């Protein structure tokens, strides 16, 4: 560490006697780079270069087993547009995101307002956020068990109150809503905490004034909470939607039953992330998988851009 120490001391004397030197040669620059070096290596090796390499791979027919591939131009992208499974994956993913985000956002908003109005208790917030901290794999197996068609406790309760037994993860029409339900359960408390942090920033005086005017809870929510929460809500929506498109762990574990192919029944839950994974590591088509993941990024960028536009996330009403 002696070298860094020396550099720091030199930085001082130089600053006191200003000389015309390029900023690149200042000792402080050298110190900064020493501080930055490990993380910068990590950034280059595991983020920046792979990102570029991923784009390159998408123009090749790289094979996982052969460890090689030739440049094929835009063939992968052409193939993608004719790949029925890709369109299926896209469709299932959209279906999942709409159900997941739609219900989750409403619930989280309700929970956040409840917390804001009722209690600041850490225990309450802690319990609500707990599912978010537990590994997806654990929760997927747990819900597989609870939603088991024959032995599961959920069907047991459903029949007890007069409903018929449901197929849940084993049913082609229910599998996506069920997966969405599991992740709503996992994320609603966490999302509520994010929104709650936004609620706390709204000045209490607005509510006091509204109460003096005789406004009810619902009216206050509509005319104070919602408009003032908008920038936070917009950011939370961008983050949760981008995250929702990336559902993988739960599907990979909880679908297809025991011994079946994840993504089932049939292709009913083969979402985009899972499809990319399977192309890469089961069919060894790394090049094609890379092209699919480029498509995913383009899609996410487009979704985020449209949202920020629509929700005017940058502007705040709290000025």
**262 near 256, Cβ under 8 Å?**
yes
What is the Cα 42 distance to its own chain's centre?
22
Phi-psi region of 73 (alpha: psi -120 to 50; beta: other; left: phi over 0): left
**276 near 287, Cβ under 8 Å?**
no
Is residue 283 close enough to count as binding another protein by CB under 8 A?
A: no
CB of 44 to another protein, least distance (A): 10
Is residue 32 close enough to count as binding another protein by CB under 8 A?
A: yes
**Could you tell me the CA-to-CA distances from 262 to 61, 82, 145 in Å, in that order?**
25, 23, 16
Task: Output 94 or 248, the one with its CB closest to another protein.
Answer: 248
For the chain, counts of helices (H) and of strands (E): 15, 0
Task: Output 70 or 141, the one with its CB closest to another protein.
Answer: 141
State how far the Cα of 231 lies from the Cα of 239, in Å rounded to an integer.
13
The token pair that represents 42 in the structure block: 């990590």
Task: Identify the bridge partners of residue 280 per DSSP, sorted by sequence position.
Answer: none
State how far the Cα of 13 lies from the Cα of 179, in Å rounded to an integer.
62
Looking only at residues 51 through 110 of this chain, which bind another protein when binding is defined by CB under 8 A? Answer: 51, 53-54, 57, 62, 67, 110
- Strand, helix or coil for residue 247: coil
Contacting residue, 8, 91, 149, 177, with another protein by CB under 8 A: 8
CB of 87 to another protein, least distance (A): 19
Contacting residue, 79, 85, 98, 194, with another protein by CB under 8 A: 194
Task: Output 32 or 70, the one with its CB closest to another protein.
Answer: 32
**Could you tell me the CA-to-CA distances from 221 to 176, 218, 224, 262, 312 in Å, in that order?**
32, 5, 6, 42, 20
The sign of the CA dihedral 288, 291, 295, 300 is: positive
Task: Output 141 or 310, the one with its CB closest to another protein.
Answer: 141
Task: Output 122 or 161, the one with its CB closest to another protein.
Answer: 122
Contacting residue, 17, 18, 19, 24, with another protein by CB under 8 A: 24
Looking only at residues 118 through 157 of this chain, which bind another protein when binding is defined by CB under 8 A? Answer: 118-119, 122-131, 133-139, 141-143, 145-146, 148, 150-151, 153, 156
Looking only at residues 287 through 316 of this chain, which bind another protein when binding is defined by CB under 8 A? Answer: 289-290, 293-294, 296-297, 300, 304, 315
CB of 176 to another protein, least distance (A): 19
CB of 219 to another protein, least distance (A): 11
CB of 132 to another protein, least distance (A): 8
Asked if the peptide bond before residue 91 counts as cis, ω within 30 degrees of 0, the response is: no
Looking only at residues 221 through 250 of this chain, which bind another protein when binding is defined by CB under 8 A? Answer: 223-224, 227-228, 232, 235-236, 239, 242, 245-246, 248-249
Task: Output 175 or 236, the one with its CB closest to another protein.
Answer: 236
How many residues contact another protein, by CB under 8 A? 126
């Amino acid at each position: 560490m002696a070298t860094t120490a020396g550099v720091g001391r030199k930085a001082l004397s130089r600053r006191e006697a200003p000389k015309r030197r390029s900023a690149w040669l200042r000792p402080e620059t050298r110190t900064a780079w020493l501080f930055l070096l490990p993380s910068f290596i990590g950034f280059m090796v595991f983020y920046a270069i792979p990102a570029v390499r991923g784009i390159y791979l998408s123009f090749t027919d790289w094979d996982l087993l052969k460890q090689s591939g030739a440049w094929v131009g835009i063939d992968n992208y052409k193939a993608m547009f004719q790949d029925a499974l890709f369109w299926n994956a896209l469709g299932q993913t959209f279906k999942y995101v709409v159900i997941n985000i739609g219900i989750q956002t409403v619930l989280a908003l309700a929970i956040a307002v409840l917390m804001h109005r009722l209690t600041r208790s850490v225990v309450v917030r802690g319990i609500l956020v707990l599912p978010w901290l537990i590994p997806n794999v654990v929760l997927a197996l747990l819900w597989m068990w609870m939603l088991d068609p024959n032995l599961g406790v959920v069907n047991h309760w459903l029949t007890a109150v007069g409903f018929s037994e449901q197929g849940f993860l084993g049913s082609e029409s229910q599998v996506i809503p069920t997966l969405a339900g599991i992740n709503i359960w996992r994320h609603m408390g966490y999302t509520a905490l994010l929104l709650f942090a936004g609620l706390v920033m709204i000045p209490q005086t607005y509510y006091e004034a509204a109460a003096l005017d005789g406004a009810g809870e619902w009216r206050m929510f509509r005319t104070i909470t919602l408009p003032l929460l908008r920038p936070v809500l917009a950011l939370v929506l961008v983050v949760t939607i981008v995250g929702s498109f990336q559902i993988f762990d739960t599907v990979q574990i909880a679908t297809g039953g025991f011994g079946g192919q994840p993504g089932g029944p049939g292709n009913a839950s083969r979402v985009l992330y899972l499809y990319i994974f399977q192309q890469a590591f089961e069919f060894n088509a790394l090049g094609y998988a890379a092209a699919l993941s480029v498509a995913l990024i383009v899609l996410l960028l487009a979704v985020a851009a449209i949202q920020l536009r629509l929700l005017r996330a940058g502007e705040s009403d709290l000025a």
